[in-house]
Chains A and B, each alone.
Chain A
Amino acid sequence: MIWAATAAVSGVLVLLGYFVRLDQIPTDGLVKILFDLRLLLMRWAVVLAAVALFLGLFNLFLVHWSKISEQGNGWPYSAILVASFLATFVLGLVFRPDSDIVLWLFENIQLPVEATLSGLLAVTLTVAGFRIISRRRDLFSVVFLVTALLILLGTGPWLLGSDSAFSQLFSGIRNTLAQVAAAGGARGIILGVALGAIVTGLRILLAIDRPYGE
Chain B
Amino acid sequence: MTNIITKNENGTSTIQVDFIDEGVNLQGEINVKGSDAQVLAYLKVFENDLRLNFADLFPAPEVEEGGVE
A binds B: no
On A, residues with C-beta under 8 Å from B are: none
On B, residues with C-beta under 8 Å from A are: none
